[in-house]
Structure 1
Amino acid sequence: MPVPLCGVHHESVLDLEPGGVEDVLPGPCPLCGSRVGVRYPGGSVCAVCEWRWGEVPDGDLAPPRVDVVYYLRMRDASGDRIKIGTTANPRQRLAAIAHQDLLAFERGDRTIERRRHAQFAATRYPGTEWFRTTPELLAHVDVVGAGVGDPWELLARWRSEALALRG
């Protein structure tokens, strides 16, 4: 026997139905910037961070701080090398550093960065944060990259998780 539901609860039930369809969001997700969403009968959510399309993040809240260790690759006349650095604002930081490829982000701050510098110290260019590209370093980058093709997607996920944990 059907149970009468108010509009809000009817929408909630529709969201529980399986069969969401991957689709393009009407605009970039206000939380992570992704354009890929999943459309359900009751609305759409971002495919990256699962933010419900149409909900506006609280403008009074500062964006969550997510520190990352980044791995940049540079190939030029002086060789093939990888920079290991850290930042809480990767777009701004990476714009200031000459490089060809962003290889990966690893969640962590200066403590993790120092640990990586010590781990690969034998291949470090003296006085810099650049390291010779070795199979060991590339294997490490593959592991911390978690199989994600685009490091920015991983960063978006970490930021949305941090925001969700904040409540």
Structure 2
Amino acid sequence: MVAPDGRMCGRPIEPRAPLGLCREHLLEAHDWVTRDVGATDLLPSPCRACGSQVGVRYPSGWICAECEWRVGDVPDDELDRPRVEVVYYIRWRDQIKIGTSVNPRMRLATLPHDEVLAFERGGRALEQRRHAQFAAHRFAGTEWFAVHDALLDHVAELAAGVDDPWAEYERWVLRRIALRAG
């Protein structure tokens, strides 16, 4: 490698490097290229717009690799919140309700429940499929079901890897906002 002053670099070439450069010059070349094309890496914290954990780092800052929201920017609260239909699963005593809403906070505020178990993206059609799927355990004329293994397994599958169902719902809403803003 020829240094900027015209002298040859005396360092050993990095083994298995794609170019005949020393480690220092490989890193310098990497920094020079990523200045324009960025470097994909884990974000310092999940994207506030869509929840993705992967971003692209530029010298000027980070952007989300999924929705391209600039990390650090706060989603505009004045944007109309998009409709994100969900099927919700709540537990009250020894029963589980399967319902649907585009505004689960308001809906669940009106229902007795001990715990929000999970959310599933979808609307009435999905809710009706779930009601049919677990019909053998449904309390007649209601959307409430007796607790049973198949329903608990389904809820566990939905909740796998989700620490807080409300955070998951908010991620879906913010992702819809980010995609709409683009």
TM-score using structure 1 length? 0.68
Conservation of the 8 A alpha-carbon contact between 2:69 and 2:178? no
Other-structure match for 2:25: none
**Are 1:54 and 2:68 counterparts?**
no
Alpha-carbon shift at residue 159 of structure 1 (Å): 1.3
Q: Structure 1: where are the runs of 5+ without partners?
A: 3-11, 24-28
Whether contact under 8 Å (1:15, 1:43) holds in the other structure is no
Residue 81 of structure 2: aligned partner: 63
For residues 164 and 77 of structure 2, the distance between their equivalents in structure 1, rounded to whole angstroms, comes to 27
1:91 is matched with 105
Match of 2:95 in 1: 81
Residue type matched to 1:145 in 2? Answer: A
Q: Which amino acid aligns with 2:73?
A: G
What fraction of aligned residue pairs are identical, expressed as a percent?
51
RMSD value over aligned CA atoms?
3.5
Cα contact 1:14–1:42 (8 A) shared by 2: no
Specify the alignment match of 2:136 in structure 1.
Answer: 122
- Give the whole-Å Cα distance in 1 for the aligned partners of 2:155 and 2:149: 10
State the Cα distance separating 1:112 from its structure 2 match.
0.5
Counterpart Cα distance in 1 of 2:144 and 2:163? 23
Equivalent-residue separation in structure 2 for 1:107 and 1:21 (angstroms): 25
TM superposition shift of 1:116: 0.4
- Off by >3 Å, runs of 4+ in structure 1: 12-23, 40-46, 49-52
Equivalent residues, number? 144
Instruction: Give distance in 1, aligned partners of 2:148 and 2:68.
Output: 37
1:149 is displaced (CA, Å) by 1.6
Q: Cα distance, 1:21 vs. partner?
A: 7.2
Distance of 2:173 and 2:120 partners within structure 1: 13
Unaligned runs of 5+ residues in structure 2 are 5-33
TM-score (norm 2): 0.63
Amino acid in structure 2 at the alignment position of 1:151: P
Q: 1:85 to 1:50 in 2, by over 3 A?
A: farther
Q: Which amino acid aligns with 1:106?
A: E
Q: Secondary structure at the match of 2:98?
A: strand
For residues 14 and 22 of structure 1, do their structure 2 counterparts lie closer, same or farther at Cα, with a shift above 3 Å needed?
farther
| Equivalent residues of 1:104, 1:141 under 8 A apart | yes
| Deviation of the 1:56 alpha carbon | 5.0
Does residue 1:132 correspond to 2:146, yes or no? yes
CA distance in structure 1 between the partners assigned to 2:106 and 2:36 by the alignment: 41
